[in-house]
Chain A
Amino acid sequence: MPPATSFTRRRFLSSTGLLVLIASVPGARAAEHSGTLPWKPFAALPPDPLPGGRWYVLTPDEARTVEAIVDRLIPADELSIGGREAGCASFIDRQLAGSYGSSERLYMQGPFTAGLPTQGYQGAETPTGRYRDGLAALNKHTRATLGGKAFFELAAAEQDQVLKDFEAGKVDYKPAAGFFNLVLQNTMEGFFADPIYGGNKDMAGWKFIGFPGARYDYRDYITAHNKPFPLPPLSIAGRPEWKTGDK
């Protein structure tokens, strides 16, 4: 009996939400290795960023709503830029465009039954579907209760209250708390993940708390106890000032 889906190395590496359009590889086959070390220099695939400047999954209205949400979850203040400027909405959009958004790597066979809290999320809905549904519910809620306005048209204090109500599940939308937790989790990912994924602009999230990023050798600092770490953060893609050309 043939497998329902095949897992190839390529699929595996496409999972980060970056290599979007890779279907199963027809020529894929199991590998046999004997008498040799099958090492291939530079064979591995680094993450391959999706170009910015467009939305991949979110509609323009959905994108405006997500941008408004992430700017309340991480507001701009004297400590850092806000979630919107940091690219958290763009990060979320690109994640939804990849295997994360479609739950491709999760166990999605039925039957689907509401479980106990100890059994985790048991819904059939993917993250992309949960965003689509939740964002619509959010705007429906604000239009019904706050003078016909969409979420992104509200004042900051009103937006905060709506988000608190969703977080506490105190709205007429059953998955409200679960949806809020999903957006909060993804927003934090966008603020603190490596900038190659479209968020954490100029490593603002890392500078905010003092995380040095993708540095790989701290041997000179292991025993420098209780001393501030002196070097600036570093991304997988390097540092902005390292870039030359097309300025």
Chain B
Amino acid sequence: MARKLPRKDVVIVGLGWTGSILAHELTDAGLDVVAIERGPWRDTATDFNVAYAPDELRYAVRKDLFLQPAQEAMTMRNSTAQTALPMRDYGSFLPGTGVGGAGTHWNGHTWRFFPSDFALKTHLTGRYGEERLSGLQIQDWGVSYDELESAFDRFEYLCGISGKAGNLNGTIQQGGNPFEGPRKREYPLPPMQMTYAPTLFAEAARSRGLHPFPTPSANLSGAYVNPLGIAMGQCTACGFCERFGCANYSKASAHTTILPVLMRKSNFEARTECEVLKIKLAADGKTASGVTYTDVNGATFEQPADLVLLNAYSLFNVRLMLLSGIGKPYDPSSGEGVVGRNYCYQTNASAQVFFEGRSMNPFIAAGALGQTVDDYNGDSFDHGALNFVGGAGINCIPTNGRPIQYRPVPPGTPRWGSAWKKATKQYYNNTLAFSSQGSSYATRGNYLDLDPTYKDRFGRPLLRVTFDFPDNDIRMSNWVSDRMKEIADAFGGKQVVVGRQQKGWSSVPYQSTHNTGGAIMGTDPKTSAVNRHLQSWDVPNVFVVGACAFPQNAGKNPTGPVGALAYWAADSIRNHYLKNPGKLVEA
């Protein structure tokens, strides 16, 4: 029997990036807020100690900071014709857990999506005609880039993003990304100093008439004090970003930007190692009354609240909605229902150039220290003669030289023995890699639902992921691989190897923790789970914040838009919902 706790104004599920932002905004508005986090408390001083943080085995290989499958796994299959089986270990993507969430171990690439990405269906239909989108389930977001501009700006200044603007108030800036939407002011910090590989990459790209620019980075190029008064330090390029917490207070995460202020507020409380089991609905089914959760000893509690915010990882927000009966589950056979609809991923490929006699020094690195080319991303190029929509950013961002996982050798090299040793020695310091990060567009058959067979440790069904790379996205990625080959050939290396994305998504090798969709935002309750304010169409005192809101994914990392959506939702709640609780948009 769950013990009923005193009512709170707001209960937040998950204390990562979005939970921290929403908690900060709503406690500022005077509300009494509790955040329930199933992982442990974490902070820089305690958990990312500089003396032992650079430990590849512990963090990158044994995955100490990630959600453990024993706690929550999910099942996967490529199509409804297959039987989904559990991902017994996470591989393809790595959800976070604990205070800070997946934003603890991110690399720090901090993008704004293009203005056309937010009105994608309208934009592409207008430019190429409706026929071009056949086989895809592309939708508009219901919110425009211009509406989100100030939210992007707030997130970038919270983090201290290092970068160079490419478009200030409509004027293209030398050295920035000429394809980006207009921003009102420069990045808070200048770009990071470039290491050798991205410098070579920028030269090669420029020689082909492309427009390389420094990747906007949440690894700080210098000391910074954010608008909340929290001080951060310069990144030291240690090469332990993704899969690691930053020991140096120089990668933006909730710990280094918000929590030191949030945790001091008397109207905020964090409960760690407490897992929310479901959102509790009132008898009418149209209002949430709070959540039920269990603590680490198995005691269960009911936390009543006026407002319930889902701020877990995108996939777990969707699962909690399904487990709680919020919104109609999506059915791929009829195309009806909304929760689980438009699950998307990321469509990537890589390129390697093998040199002789170089010192690439791959260990001098940071998660977002590099150069990007956006000439082939989104709709920044004419698709008129092409047989796909979408595109990819091309990134030369060598994140590390950690040798358990980073030992590049040319194809055909034996995996062990003397020949393996010789090649490993030769190429560890002589390889330059870059990659494409492509858009992932929704189809009718890619979706999320509850697994009929496999259960978690509480007996709840696991989330089931049904996904394969859409044909459109394969054509896009292969076309971009051909462009990568042109860039790679310009280096004059000894050997060039360019990968090509293929059908058959595998859950085994790491690809990208950019899972999007499943609880998408939009203007029509028949095709979206939440409205343009991220408010559930069905249960208006529930807001769902995260990459689950993206109707489709762009060829960029999602954390920037996720941060912006958190501020956007906070403004909607503060400025509209609190004044008149109820549906912010009438269906």
Interface residues in chain A, defined as those with a beta carbon under 8 Å from any beta carbon in chain B: 1-9, 12-13, 15-17, 28-41, 43-44, 46-47, 72-75, 77, 79-80, 100, 104-109, 111, 113, 115-122, 160, 163, 167, 184, 187-189, 192-194, 197, 205-206, 208-219, 221-223, 225-229, 236
Contact = CB atoms under 8 A, between A and B. Distances in A.
A116 B76 CA distance: 10
Given A33-B41, A35-B265, A44-B47, A228 B359 contact: yes
B55 A6 contact: no
A173 to B, nearest CB: 19
Contact of A197 (B57, B273, B415): B57
Interface in B237-289: 237-239, 247-248, 259-260, 263-266, 268-274
B457 A3 contact: yes
Given A35-B265, A40-B46, A225 B195 contact: yes
A107 B88 contact: yes
B146 to A, nearest CB: 37
B3 interface: no
B271 A193 contact: no
A80 B461 CA distance: 50
Given A107-B70, A118-B504, A226 B359 contact: yes
A34 B273 CA distance: 15
Contacts of B55: 47, 194, 214, 236
A227 B49 CA distance: 30
Contacts of A228: 359
Contact of B57 (A9, A16, A122): A16
Contacts of A36: 263-264
B558 to A, nearest CB: 23
Given A6-B298, A119-B507, A222-B237, A211 B428 contact: yes
A223 B194 contact: yes
Nearest to A183: B416
B263 A38 contact: yes
Contacts of B363: 211-212, 215, 218, 229
Interface string B181-206: 00000000000011110010000000
Given A44-B46, A208-B425, A229-B359, 8 more contacts: A28-B296, A30-B295, A32-B269, A34-B270, A119-B76, A212-B363, A218-B364, A226-B358
A219 B239 CA distance: 12
B49 A46 contact: yes
A193 B88 contact: no
A206 B49 CA distance: 22
Interface of B: 40-41, 43, 45-47, 49-52, 54-58, 61-64, 68-71, 73, 76-78, 82-83, 85-89, 91, 193-196, 199, 234, 236-239, 247-248, 259-260, 263-266, 268-274, 294-298, 358-361, 363-364, 401-404, 407, 415-418, 421-422, 424-425, 428-429, 453-455, 457-459, 504-508
Contacts of A104: 70
A31 B506 contact: no
B87 A120 contact: yes
B370 to A, nearest CB: 12
B297 A118 contact: no
Given A34-B268, A47-B52, A108-B70, A2 B298 contact: yes
Interface core residue of B295, B421, B428 (most chain A CB under 10 Å): B421
A109 B69 CA distance: 10
5 contacts: A2-B298, A33-B263, A41-B45, A46-B49, A208-B421
Contacts of B194: 222-223
Contacts of A80: 421
B553 to A, nearest CB: 20
Nearest to A12: B40
A79 B47 CA distance: 37
The 7 closest A-B pairs by CB, nearest first: A107-B73, A30-B295, A2-B298, A107-B69, A193-B57, A34-B269, A118-B506
Given A31-B41, A222-B237, A115 B85 contact: yes
Nearest to B192: A222
A192 B403 CA distance: 6
Nearest to A194: B55
Contacts of B88: 106-108, 120-122
A221 B364 CA distance: 8
Interface core residue of A3, A30, A120 (most chain B CB under 10 Å): A30
Contacts of A115: 85
Contact of B260 (A7, A37, A120, A211): A37
A7 B88 CA distance: 17
B368 to A, nearest CB: 14
Contact of B237 (A28, A194, A219): A219
B512 to A, nearest CB: 16
A117 B506 contact: yes
A189 B417 contact: no
Contacts of B272: 30-31, 33
Nearest to B263: A37
A152 B41 CA distance: 48
B58 A47 contact: yes
B508 A118 contact: yes
A193 B404 contact: yes
A214 B50 CA distance: 10
B85 A119 contact: yes
Given A29-B297, A219-B237, A222-B237, A211 B401 contact: yes
Contacts of B415: 167, 184
B70 A72 contact: no
Contacts of A118: 76, 78, 504-508
B55 to A, nearest CB: 6
